[in-house]
Amino acid sequence: MTDEQPTRTGASKRPSPEGASPAMAQWFALKNENPEFLLFFRMGDFYELFFDDATAAASALDIALTARGSHGGEPIPMCGVPVGAAQAYLSRLIRRGFRVAVAEQTATPPSKMKGKGKVAAQKGPLPRAVVRLITPGTLTEDELLEPGRSNLLLALVAEPSRRGLPEWGAAWIDISTGQFETARCTDAELGHLLARLDPAEILAPPDRDLGEYDLRRTPGEPPSSPDTARARLAESFHVASLDAFGTFSDAETTAALMAVDYVKRSQAGAMPRLTPPMPQEDQDTLGLDPATRASLDLLRARDGGTEHTLFATVNRTSTAAGARMLASWIAAPLTNPARIAARQACWDWLRHDSVRAENLRTILRSAPDIDRALGRLSVGRGQPRDLGALRDGIAAAHLADTELARINGSEEKRPDLIERVLEDLQECAALHDELNDALADELPARLEDGGVIAAGYDEELDTHRTLRDDSRRIIASLQADYGERFGITSLKIRHHAQLGYVIEVPAAVGTRLRSREDLQFRQGTASLARFATEELSELDAEITAAAECAATRERQVFAALVARALDDDKLPALARAVALTDVIRSCASLAAGETWCRPVVDESEAFELVACRHPVVEAALGSGVRFAANSCSLSPEKRVMLLTGPNMAGKSTFLRQNALAVILAQAGLPVPATSAHLGTVDRLFSRVGAADDLARGRSTFMVEMTETAAILNQAGPRSLVVVDEIGRGTSTLDGLSIAWAVLEALHSNLRCRAIFATHFHELARLTESLPRLSLHTMAVRDWKGQVVFLHEVVSGSAKRSWGVHVAKLAGVPAPVVDRASRLLKELEREHTAGPQPLPLFDAAPSSQPAHNEPSGEVPIPDELREKLADIDPDDLSPREALAALYALKKIAT
């Protein structure tokens, strides 16, 4: 068994329940209802697993596999984990890909009958039921979740389209925060959606290949009809029609119901707190395919870590909710300049008041995660500290509101988005006051521990507590009276689990007390003797009743407070405002040093970055090393850059830093540059670095060509393409031909903005036929036989590749380097002049010799030359190009 492919316990043959003991009969029944889940079966203070579940869990958790009883003449494999430590074990199982069903006792053991000491008989085991299904996409506990990362359950439903390939309806839920959104996409766009959302669990048809996300697939219930789905969803959110929340396709609606039903099943039928479904429109989001996201290390690095990523580099947030919001901005940059400018205006306004910004940071550091506390409370797993999180979170919001309102001292200067944030931060004052009055200052971890509700809040609870606590003081007084009455200074009154309150004396003096009529001997040990009195038994009953009444009333008050919090519809908006304030402050902190700028993002075709830097590489270098900044201009007149130069000179860093600048700018964040002016990019493609996919039968070159095909099939005039070393995975002539053709396609067919890095410096000659191609190279200096990389992008093209020098730097043995140098000189002498620009229209070669044709070149008419000179192919529509071709043919003939 591996981490990626856990044993599915339901797949193997399970033993028959015939002849099982009553408790094991319960296990068989519950396991039959949940065959694909590990069954955590509550037995006292342990969750126990049996048969194949035990074998799989013991291996995954590295715990002992034992046996309990027998079945069919064979020992029953068993392992168990303590209830108190279950979260840690569940976390490990979920991360290994398992799903767990938790079976709890649904009744409590009967109480002892006081007076005569009889106990009510319990026939058979206590009833048990599965109270929760724990899956990767339905987690709520902080111990199982990453604080700054959303945890999404995604449902996918296909519907046929006229183009043959299906179109998809998608719905995703984060049960821990209540987020509920939907989208529609084509089959080709589904991979983009998966990469953007990075869901923890996916409900999808088994016949759709999900690529690298296949391991996250979960069998889902068959989808309902769209009409049924609309009706049930409207009922769930207490509206007459789902149209109240927006326009949803049939597939979106069906996917939404599939997700809701799965979540409800995981919560044993309970409906968690979810926001109404919100349809997402893709036209305002920058297109990023999976290969591009992997190439740029946006949220996760290619090794699966999070340290050297764009998110980790720019994240200055103080709250988990703020981190999740910032991550969502980076994962889905915008293409609407107005929305981008609204975000920019907030942090640009805040960064000029560093004192207030620092005060906000201090305030927000104390703000708990309101969304996830609400999520746990809504599914009945909330604890006292979750209510405390709401109280403290609202208090932090009100403090943040006060601090924000003081900035600049002028309301006219506040951006519109800040005004809306201020309104939301002021909400929930009544709820805060009630929680502040109701909750104790120091809250226990569990409700069962007591002491949750503050004294003076509930009169009935105070009465029960007074009786309980006064009775305990009476016990202390009674102990002193008994000691004096019986002449035993060592006499103690203790509470015994089975006997209740009893008198304990040393065994030596206990013998003489047995003859007293006012004492009842209850139990003796080698060192102690225990006695009861009628007075003590009555007091025991009163104390127990008072304690039980106090605990019951405290649970009732707690439940009322939870209901009050869940009914406050302003609380989610306040939580979002806190998160947004945190992101704004994070951006202001990033931009405060004047080394990050506010970019101009508009609808133009501009692409101007001045002294731009790669933020992740710069952060990794540390403060003691200066990063070599480079500018980049992809103007409409020169929109394609051909970048040549050796490895290790910084081509890949330059490519990625320009792509990351687009991500940051269109996410509404600061950009690491002196200045920036970008016309919005609708799709961004980054093909930098080599990788294979041997598990799916694809070599490095096949992956390269597949990603190149995706670019050529999807990029358009408003796209940005950064590609590195196209064609290097095959022979030199094959690779050069492919690189040449791709460069022509980017320039003349797609007409996109592009940076094309290559070792084929022969391609520089294409400037004669590609007028919008500009030549740039990485500056290199040869100093006394040693190559020095300046990491600077300059105009021009490389005349050599410096590969032998790089091999020397890498430590290749000197004889091999010398031999390579001699071979290189010989090959350069034999090398031809290289490829020459080809005409746009070649005459088709003929296999037969031409007859009756004059020898020599055919003269081109002057009129044809003039017409050709007047034509700019880049400015022609397809219809205009066809008309021009016919006109040229008429002149030529």
Which pLDDT score is estimated for 339?
A: 95
Whether pLDDT at 378 is above 50: yes
Whether pLDDT at 874 is above 70: no
517-543 pLDDT tens trace: 889 999 888 889 999 998 888 888 888
| Residue 118 confidence class, pLDDT cut points 50, 70, 90 | very low
When the candidates are 3.40.50.970, 1.40.20.10, 3.30.70.2860, 1.10.1420.10, the CATH number that belongs to 459-561 is 1.10.1420.10
Which pLDDT score is estimated for 850?
A: 42
**DSSP, residue by residue, 404-460:** HHHGGG-GGGS-HHHHHHHHHHT--HHHHHHHHHHB-SS--SSGGG---BPTTS-HH
Residue 84's identity, in one-letter code, is G
Which pLDDT score is estimated for 761?
A: 78
Whether pLDDT at 221 is above 70: yes
Which pLDDT score is estimated for 226?
A: 92
CATH code for the domain defined by 9-115+124-134? 3.40.1170.10
Q: Average pLDDT of 196-209?
A: 92
CATH code for the domain defined by 147-280? 3.30.420.110
Q: Which residue has the higher pLDDT, 868 or 26?
A: 26
543-562 pLDDT tens trace: 888 889 999 999 999 999 99
Q: Which long-range contacts (CB under 8 A, 24 or more apart) does 296-305 make?
A: 296/656, 296/659, 296/660, 296/663, 296/686, 297/616, 298/330, 298/331, 298/663, 299/198, 299/327, 299/330, 299/331, 300/198, 302/691
Question: Is 684 within 8 Å of 638 (Cβ atoms)?
Answer: no
Q: Which residue has the higher pLDDT, 779 or 55?
A: 55
Which pLDDT score is estimated for 611?
A: 95
Other beta carbons within 10 Å of 193: 22
**Cβ neighbours of residue 163 closer than 8 Å, sequence gap 6 or more:** none
Q: Average pLDDT of 328-354?
A: 94
| Cα 805 to Cα 782: distance, rounded to the nearest angstrom | 10
| Cα 427 to Cα 398: distance, rounded to the nearest angstrom | 8
- Of 319-323, 398-402, 513-517, 887-891, minimum mean pLDDT range: 887-891
| Residue 780 confidence class, pLDDT cut points 50, 70, 90 | confident
Which pLDDT score is estimated for 125?
A: 77
Which pLDDT score is estimated for 893?
A: 63
- Of 152-166, 660-674, 709-723, minimum mean pLDDT range: 152-166
Question: Is 157 within 8 Å of 289 (Cβ atoms)?
Answer: no
| Residue 830 confidence class, pLDDT cut points 50, 70, 90 | low
419-451 pLDDT tens trace: 999 999 999 999 999 999 999 999 999 998 899
| Cα 390 to Cα 375: distance, rounded to the nearest angstrom | 11
Average pLDDT, the chain: 85
Give, in words, the CATH class of 313-456+562-591.
mainly alpha
The helix (run of H) or strand (run of E) holding residue 632 is strand 630-633
Question: Is 56 within 8 Å of 98 (Cβ atoms)?
Answer: yes
Give the tokens for residue 16: 């028959």
Which pLDDT score is estimated for 105?
A: 87
pTM of the model: 0.82
Domain map (residue ranges) of the chain: 9-115+124-134, 147-280, 313-456+562-591, 459-561, 604-830, 862-892
Q: Average pLDDT of 501-523?
A: 88
Same fold, 9-115+124-134 and 459-561: no
- Rounded percentage of the chain residues whose pLDDT exceeds 90: 52
Question: Is 537 within 8 Å of 114 (Cβ atoms)?
Answer: yes
Q: Which fold has domain 604-830?
A: Rossmann fold (3.40.50)
